[in-house]
Structure 1
Amino acid sequence: MAIWQGESLRKSSGGRAKLNKNKRKAELGKSAAETKIGDKKVKKIRTKGGNEKIRLTNENKINVVNSKTNKVEIAEILNVTENSANTHFVRRNIITKGAVVETSIGKVKVTSRPGQHGIINGVLVE
């Protein structure tokens, strides 16, 4: 079944709402990217206006910013230690914005949105 992101069919009181328009193609949604640890895999998705979104499905490297030295280095991702988006994402090793990832350098908090931007950026956490 398709993911629909239009107005709800229910009112705040719980009664059924009468929509004054039909469903539109622009209101269709897509399932989440659920970026995992592994060799790099990218999906290109067509968006409104013919533009493209790069959806990262797998990645094992992260761009890490050290806030003390202001230097950026690429680190290897080992596993996911925390994820505030969903607690089950930790055991499935799914990376989202705000996830804390264990790398070869140390613990890193993800600041980019890998399912939207197609890249993983993060800040070193002490």
Structure 2
Amino acid sequence: MKRSTENLATSKITGGRRRPLKTRRKYDMDRFPNEAVMGQQVTVTRQVRASLVKTALKTIDHVNLSLKDGKVKKSKILKVLENTTNSDYQRRGVISKGAVLETEDGKCRVVSRPGQHGVVNAVLLK
């Protein structure tokens, strides 16, 4: 998917044709969002600008849960309770930052970005 820089389809008032001020660059291109859902863990890597690599989650079945005493525990995800990012995400069960999950240890809120970081970190709610 490429984004248009300007409308070149129409002609100028003088009748001349429009020429772009600049050509499209690689960083102008859009990419489909990577939305993590529940399931057996599957990660993908993709190349981004400056030859860096991002690791993203397609599916995940556990969460790194930060407990009250400062310890971290790996807990199984049971279901996605709510996602304030998008009502469609909530219906489909997409895990994104700010989503509330039901785990074996109780409710938790996601604080990481699974589509960008490749890991699901969460804090336990009351």
Q: Whole-Å Cα distance in 2 between the matches of residues 27 and 78 of structure 1?
A: 38
Report if aligned partners of 2:84, 2:90 keep a CA contact under 8 Å in 1: no
User: Which residue of 1 is the match for residue 86 of structure 2?
Assistant: 86
Distance 1:50 1:56, change over 3 A: same
Deviation digits for residues 15-54 of structure 1 (CA, Å, limit 9, x no counterpart): xxx9632221111121111100000001110111221100
Distance 1:98 1:19, change over 3 A: farther
**Shift of residue 71 of structure 1?**
1.1
Q: How many correspondences in the alignment?
A: 115
Structure 1 residue matching 2:23: 3-state secondary structure? coil
Report if aligned partners of 1:3, 1:31 keep a CA contact under 8 Å in 2: no
User: Which residue of 2 is the match for residue 77 of structure 1?
Assistant: 77
Q: Whole-Å Cα distance in 1 between the matches of residues 69 and 50 of structure 2?
A: 41
- Of structures 1 and 2, the larger Rg is shown by 2
Distance 1:3 1:121, change over 3 A: farther
**Shift of residue 60 of structure 1?**
0.5
Structure 1 residue matching 2:50: 3-state secondary structure? helix
> Aligned Cα RMSD in Å?
1.8
Structure 2 residue matching 1:115: 3-state secondary structure? helix
Return 5+ residue gaps in structure 2 as ranges.
Answer: 8-18
- Alignment identity in percent? 34
User: Which residue of 1 is the match for residue 50 of structure 2?
Assistant: 49
Q: Whole-Å Cα distance in 1 between the matches of residues 74 and 2 of structure 2?
A: 36
**Shift of residue 108 of structure 1?**
0.6
**Equivalent residue letter for 1:61:** H
Return 5+ residue gaps in structure 1 as ranges.
Answer: 11-17
Structure 1-normalised TM-score? 0.84
